[in-house]
Amino acid sequence: MKRSASIPLIFLATIGYGLMPIFTLVAYAAKTSPSELVLMRFVGAAVLMWIYYIATGRTAKLTAYPKAVVLRVVFMIGIPFTLTILVKFLAFTTMPVGIVQAIFYGYPLIVMLIGVSSGRESFYLSRLLGYMVILVGILLTMDFSDARLTVVGVLLSVASPVVYSWYILSLRHKKVIPVPSPVITTYVMTTGSVLMVLAFPFFPNNGFSFESQAWWGIAGLVLISSVGAFIVFNYGAKHVDSSLAATICCFEPIITILIEILFLGGYYTPRQMAGIVLIPSGILFSLLFSRKLKPKNPVCCTIGGDS
């Protein structure tokens, strides 16, 4: 797949991911708990993927990879992705979803620092400057004059990008790149299902006593923000630098916030709105003006292994 085709796919996935907090709010309004929602999201997505492979007679594709590759997908992609979703869904209950999303998008800076310092990704000065703009935008959204912000919410929101960076970097490993996106999706959603089933008894409010309207939010999470977005993102992210994929995804909080304001009565302070404007500005700067010096001896761009 060409780089020019990968970038639109990542943007499409970003829209799906941007709708995730909206679907979450719909489910929460119908008295669904975070643990119930995360469990149903992963189980629903995993069931759909397994039905697809069984119905098409392609289950052999799921077992065609060495055990070491499968374990890498499970531990280096499945576990961090599951933890990220759980932490974010808990954070959504503590303060406005747009702020949680904005704080979460500090992860491109983490991805870049790790990728460049390890020699796994090329350094772009303009991309670094773009990240600085994004960071300023994120800091502006953390307007503590807004009583809706909580310490617990901020801590959870800060933890999620750290874990998510682990997932992003792992997608570029040389053993993972050849694995088709639907196969990765199936393993990741199955991993999330197993983890949540094991952890579910330890969470409060796990009696599944929510209202029927919650199923609209659950369906959106499974079909659009899980299976759909995850597949197209993995298709695109394997063919561009991890930090570039992370940068494109910074549009996600913008989508979330706009939909929340337009359809769910969301409100943000002028300072927070200024931060919201700066985030896509940094993204566009990074995408349009990235430049690099080509090294005489190209370095490996894979993550977590020798070239």
Question: In the chain, at which residue ranges do the beta strands (DSSP E only) sit?
Answer: none
Flag whether 178 is in a domain: yes
Six-digit token pair at 130?
């773009």
* Nearest to 244, CA basis, from 284, 210, 200, 212: 284
Flag whether 79 is in a domain: yes
Flag whether 299 is in a domain: no
Pick 298 or 169 by higher pLDDT: 169
Decide if 241 contacts 10 (C-beta within 8 A): no
Flag whether 232 is in a domain: yes
**Residue 246: per-residue pLDDT:** 67
Flag whether 293 is in a domain: no
Q: What is the pLDDT of residues 7-34, one digit of tens each?
A: 888 889 989 988 999 999 999 999 999 9
Alpha carbon distance 243, 240 (integer Å): 8
| Amino acid residing at 101 | Q
Q: What is the pLDDT of residues 94-104, one digit of tens each?
A: 999 988 988 88
- Give percent of the chain above pLDDT 90: 45
Which residue shows structure tokens 């949680």?
A: 100
* Nearest to 63, CA basis, from 44, 1, 54, 228: 54
Region 121-129: mean pLDDT is 76
Above 50 in pLDDT, residue 305?
A: no
Six-digit token pair at 196?
């949540």
CA-CA-CA-CA dihedral for 12, 85, 273, 285, to nearest 10: -50
Flag whether 194 is in a domain: yes
Alpha carbon distance 174, 155 (integer Å): 33
Domain that holds residue 91: 3-288
* Nearest to 77, CA basis, from 166, 197, 181: 166
Above 50 in pLDDT, residue 302?
A: no
Flag whether 295 is in a domain: no
**Residue 3: per-residue pLDDT:** 65
Instruction: Work out the mean pLDDT of the chain and round it to a whole number.
Output: 85
Alpha carbon distance 234, 239 (integer Å): 9
Pick 199 or 139 by higher pLDDT: 199
Is the pTM above the cut of 0.95?
no
Six-digit token pair at 189?
């959603």
Above 80 in pLDDT, residue 88?
A: yes
Flag whether 172 is in a domain: yes
Q: What is the pLDDT of residues 222-241, one digit of tens each?
A: 999 888 888 888 788 777 77
Task: Report the number of distinct structural domains present in the chain.
Answer: 1
